[in-house]
Structure formats: C-alpha cells, structure tokens
Structure 1
C-alpha cells in the first residue's frame, strides 16, 4: 500500500498546518469574546448610571413638583425656607461656560491655525505637546490659581467680588483651550494640500486662503471641537467650586459670586445630607439635568461632524 505525503499530493493539507489554522481560529474567537466583554462592560456601566440617576430623580419629583423645579427662580434646598428652582444653577453654569468659550475659541483656533499653517515642523513638534500639557494640570490647581492670583489681579482693574464667575470662566477657558485647539488642528490638517495650492494658483494670499478655503473646509471638525469644549466647561467642577463660589442666583453679572450645577453637586456630596433625604435627592435631580445637557451637546456635536463632513478623494 502506497503512502501519500504532502509532496506527493499538493491538495493534501499537512496536519500541522490544519492544527495551526484551528488554533488561530480559537485564539481569534477568544480575543473577540474578550473585546466584546470589555465593550459590554462600558455599555452596562452607562446604563447602570442612567438607571440610578433617574431612579433617584423620580423619587425627588414625588416630593417636589415639576412646577417648583422648572418654574421657580430660587434655589435654596438647604435653607429653612426651601426653594427648588433649578434656573439659578443653570444660569451660573452657562454664564461661566460662555466666558470660558469666549477665551477658549479664539486661543484654541488661533493656535491651531498657527501650528498648521505658519509654524515650522520643529517648532510645531515642541509647541503642540506644550499646549496639550495644559490639559494634564489638575483642575483644583486651576481653581486655586484663579482665586489666589487671577482674581486679585483683575480686581486692580475691575470691581469684583472675591468669588466671581469672571475668574472662574477665564481659567476654564485656558483649561479648555487644548481641547478646542487639538481637535481643530486635526481638522485643519485633514484639508487636502490641493485646495491650498488651487487657491494660491488663483492669486489668493495665504491669509485669505486660510479664512476662505481652509477653515470652511474644516468647519465640521472645528464646530465639533467647540461643542466638545462647551461640554467640558458645563461639566467642570473644581475650578468653579473654588473660584466662583456657592451662591445660586439669576444674574448676568460676571463680577458676582454664582453657583453651578456641578459645584452644588460637590457641596451635597460632602456627606452632610443623609442618604435618602430630600437634600440628598436634589443631587440626583441636578445630575439628571446636567446629564441631559451634556448628552444633548454630544449628540449635536456628533450630528454636525457627520452632517457637514467634507470628503475628499
């Protein structure tokens, strides 16, 4: 009886090769299962957070009506005369956010334009990590820097309270600049070189090319970076807690002390309010509003990035 080998029959796979393919297939399946489990943990964690927040929020609204929460203009849940109007906290949050973005947008966008269009490669390689290093500074450091340095400095020129939204907003803007600048820089760099060369061929100057060709082409990424920066500003805690104070009020004055949603949540989280009490439940009610705001901003950012994305061959 004649024995066949792989050399005699090219269509006969060696057993070792077949075992290797089976082993690789099993390894791929195991790795895929592990990655799926990691993704599932993230999704389940998100759902768990949402369920807990809105479960406690439901308990809050069993004791406080929607009218008291959304129509009242005072927020004093810790006082003897209680008011649960959320608008002073929303006002403080968006006031500091507006100040922060008025600083972060020009600084971030100008730094992105410079690093992309004007800086030499060696200079850009040094400056970009230096700018992004600002994102690694703890926010509590920004808060104390605003309180102990920026506020006394600004009070030499502007009448400000010790705790005020201006110092907190300016410091938040510096903190958010790397977020806006980094994403905007990637969006500007993704614009094809051919568009710039076409503009130069028509006799347009470099500055005109940037503002009339490059920035419009990268607009979706720039807008997405701005909205993500707003989300970061809305969710910032320690900087506003230290520099802006804890006085919820409806005001547009940047010189006064205000309170944000995150600052109030940090105050309640200190442990002075017993678990299950109405004061404790306000933590989740405010957290639910903050969650809805940041989720809406992220959805808008995702929609804009996809709706106005420019595709080039």
Structure 2
C-alpha cells in the first residue's frame, strides 16, 4: 500500500472519528450540549486526533527508519570489498535501488512477471540488455551480486510496506475505538484537544530547529573532512583559486571572498539610496492614492525570478556598461563584470529595503512628528532630523539583511559577472562569488571525497557564518535602539 493511499485512509478514519465522536457525545447527553463538559465538537476532534495522530507519527518514524534497516540487510549480499568501502557501498546501493525500480516498472507495464524476474540470472544473461528489450534503460551492466540484492530489496520493501500498512491501520482503528469509549458527559475533551494541539505546535517548532541543526551539521561534518585533506591556513589565506581534480589544487578563499564583497558593496550602493528614498517618499510625502499603486508596483520587482534578472544583466545591462563605460574608458571589453552583477542585484534588493524601511518609518510615533512641526520645523527638516534618526536602527537592520541577500545571490552572478576568481579593483572585470563556486564544485561527475568537491561545503559553512553574523547584528541593532522610542 502506497503512502498516499495510507494517508487518505487515515484522513477518512479521522473524519469518521470526528462525526462519530460528536454524535456519541450528544447521544450520551440526551441531545443537550449543556450537560457536557466541553462543546460537542471537542469530543469529535478528540476522536479524530486519536485516530490520526498516533498512527501518522508511527508511519513517519517507519518511513525514516525503513531505508536504513533495509540497506543494512541488503548490503550483506554485496561483496566484502564493496561493504568495506563506504563510497563503493553507496554507489552499489544506488545501483540496487535503480535496478529494483526498473524491475518494478517492467512489472507494472506487464513486460515482465514475477516468475520472469525470479528467473533472471546475471551469470548467464546481460540484465541491461534483457531489460532494454522491455524498454527499461540501465546505465551499466549488472553483476550477480547487485541482481541478487535488487531482488531481495524488492521483496523486503514489499514486506515492509505490508507490515507498515497493517500496523498503521490497526493503530488508527485502536485509537478511534479507545477515543469513542472514553467519551462521557464529564470527560474533559477540550483540555485533551488543546493539550495535543499545543504539543503539535511545539513539535512544529522543534522540527524547524532540528532542520537548522541538520543543515549546519551536514555542512560542518563535510567541512571538517575537507580540512583534514587541505590545510586550513591555505584555504582562508590563499590568494589563488585553481581547483584541479587530478591533484595540485590551489583553493584559496580570498579571491572568492573579495568578489562576493565587491559585488555586495556595489549592490548596496544601488539598493540603499533608491530603496530608502522610495520608502521616505511613500511614508512621508505620497498621498494615499499614490501610495496605493506605487508601493505594489515596487514590490512586484521582488516577485520576478532571479534567472530573469540574470538574462536582463546578460543582454541589457552588461552590453550597455561595456559599450558606454568600460570600452571608452579602457577598463575592459566584456559585458560580464562586477558592476553588471552589482547593479542588477541592487535592483533586485530595492523592494526588500524599501518595504522594510517603509514599515520602520511608519512605526515612528506620530507624536515625534507633531512635536517637531509644532516647534516650527519644516516637513523636510522633520524627516531629516527627527524621523530618520528615530528609524535609523531599523533601517540599518534592513540594510544588513539586504546585504545577506546580496551575498547569497547566485544566478545573477553566473550570468552577469562570469566565473573568474581573481583579485582586482577594476569593477568592469569579470569576477565570481562563493555561491557560484559552490555550485560549480558540486556539478558534474566528481569524486565526492576529493578536496576539490569538499571545498564546496567549506565555502558553504563560511558563507553561512557570514550571513548569520549579519542577521544577528541586524536583529541586535533593531532590538537595542528601538526601545528608546517605545
């Protein structure tokens, strides 16, 4: 039984539990809800929760544990040399899963039956050719061990799915029956339901936290593996980026960091003035009618995909800067440059900074404006000397968050700035950022355990720390100085 079908059955049982629980509560109270401790709907929700939540949690745990358990069992069919090498074992298990999927597809199409699958013998038949006749394409020839493991994998998965369905449905029915038996006029259904909902909300928060921890751990563990193979000092202080998968790589972090910071600074020089001035106009000078159509039009920019911005940088901004600035000034002849990527990322960040700054300026108490105007200040003097200083902490936080977004941009940099890792002050030269190299090092057929691939995780961890520090600084600035005006 598939997971989707199982979830559908659980949802139907939960709905039936709600109806039955509510009807039973009303029946026990003689049709008078006033005799019940809780509203009738709470009894229904209690039955629905008992029918769905325990079974759903067991199913989730089963889905998490099952792959590890099955892989441990199936790996015993592989050669000992493969089992001893983690990388070889991982690749072999991928072949096993792919072959098992191909056999299942052939079974669904009717081109193979269970008897034909059981009769397949890698020692006498090329399984790839055999499945090729059935329209199933495999990337490589299949060994006898992989074929045996694939057959066992299919059998184990089918058995596990049957037991999973039986256990989940039995638990759901048991929970439903138990909940219905618990129903009584003095049963505290509301307290039970609210307690369960509170725990589910706590679980949702915990999942978000654990996801963050998992992301950090996945990067940190591989970063540690990288630094075991490559000197940490050469990474953080190296001035050359020249990865070579055959050996002799120079993986200096400084050129990528310089390109990232250079593009980010240019982006902020574009986004901060335009975004801030737009926010000041919308918050202090624009009429309600003007604000009603200008603000949504600015925020539409945030909804444009970054790949569209990349095309805009590649076909419009880059050639314009090359033809009217770089070539006449003798600074370069390429449309891909730091300036191109920085300007387009700045345009991308305008609505982000504008919206945050607008909300922050509107949050400044009106009494400060009234007091300044009452003392004889003009509108512009009030904005410049009262409103902006009061909103400055929040604006600074918005700028730092905009910087974090600019640092993490990838597509615009790939299409607008190129992929050259170099140290240069010329803004019309092609450079690149950490995010671009992370994608580049993990793309293609590479050795996952080589320093040239693992460096992507070290770059990702470094980028994570940089953006985390910027976000923490932004939050600290906002919280520290906001209290002065509250």
Answer yes or no: is 1:96 the counterpart of 2:263: yes
Alignment match, 2:311:
144
Q: Is the 8 A contact 1:115 1:128 kept in 2?
A: yes
Instruction: Identify the match of residue 235 of structure 2 among 51, 65, 69.
Output: 69
Deviation at 1:71, TM superposition (A): 1.9
Deviation at 1:275, TM superposition (A): 1.9
Answer yes or no: is 1:234 the counterpart of 2:234: no
Q: Is the 8 A contact 2:267 2:344 kept in 1?
A: yes
Answer yes or no: is 1:306 the counterpart of 2:479: yes
SS in 2 for 1:264: helix
Structure 2: distance between partners of 1:206 and 1:19: 58
Answer yes or no: is 1:116 the counterpart of 2:283: yes
Question: 1:12-51 to 2 correspondence within 5 Å?
Answer: 16-20=35-39, 22-51=188-217
Structure 1: distance between partners of 2:430 and 2:35: 75
Q: Is the 8 A contact 1:217 1:310 kept in 2?
A: no
Deviation at 1:155, TM superposition (A): 1.8
Alignment match, 1:166:
339
Deviation at 1:311, TM superposition (A): 4.7
Q: Is the 8 A contact 1:92 1:248 kept in 2?
A: yes
Deviation at 1:207, TM superposition (A): 0.6
Structure 2: distance between partners of 1:19 and 1:94: 60
Alignment match, 1:249:
422
Deviation at 1:270, TM superposition (A): 1.9
Alignment match, 2:380:
207
Answer yes or no: is 1:156 the counterpart of 2:323: yes
SS in 2 for 1:62: helix
Instruction: Identify the match of residue 105 of structure 1 among 265, 272, 292.
Output: 272
Greater RCO, CA 8 A, separation 6+:
1
Alignment match, 2:62:
none
- The structure where helix makes up a greater share of residues is 2
Structure 2: distance between partners of 1:310 and 1:15: 48
Q: How many residues align?
A: 300
Deviation at 1:152, TM superposition (A): 1.1
Alignment match, 1:270:
443
Deviates more, 1:72-81 or 1:254-263: 72-81
Q: Is the 8 A contact 2:241 2:421 kept in 1?
A: yes
Structure 1: distance between partners of 2:289 and 2:192: 47
Structure 1: distance between partners of 2:309 and 2:445: 26
Question: 1:269-288 to 2 correspondence within 5 Å?
Answer: 269-288=442-461
Task: For residues 169-221 of structure 1, give each alpha carbon's deviation from its aligned partner in whole angstroms, at most 9, with x where no partner exists.
Answer: 00000001111111100110001111111111111111111010000011111
Which protein shows a greater Rg?
2
Deviation at 1:15, TM superposition (A): 6.4
Deviation at 1:26, TM superposition (A): 2.1
Question: 1:68-87 to 2 correspondence within 5 Å?
Answer: 68-78=234-244, 81-87=248-254
CA-based RMSD of the aligned residues comes to: 1.6
The 1:27–1:154 alpha-carbon spacing in structure 2 relative to 1, beyond 3 Å, is same
Structure 2: distance between partners of 1:162 and 1:152: 5
SS in 1 for 2:317: helix
Structure 1: distance between partners of 2:485 and 2:273: 27
Deviation at 1:81, TM superposition (A): 4.3
Task: For residues 83-140 of structure 1, give each alpha carbon's deviation from its aligned partner in whole angstroms, at most 9, with x where no partner exists.
Answer: 1110000000000000000000001100000000111112111111111111111111
Structure 1: distance between partners of 2:378 and 2:443: 57
Structure 2: distance between partners of 1:272 and 1:256: 30
Instruction: Identify the match of residue 220 of structure 2 among 32, 54, 66.
Output: 54
SS in 2 for 1:217: helix
Deviation at 1:278, TM superposition (A): 1.8
Q: Is the 8 A contact 1:227 1:301 kept in 2?
A: yes
Alignment match, 1:134:
301
Structure 1: distance between partners of 2:292 and 2:345: 25
TM-score (norm 1): 0.92
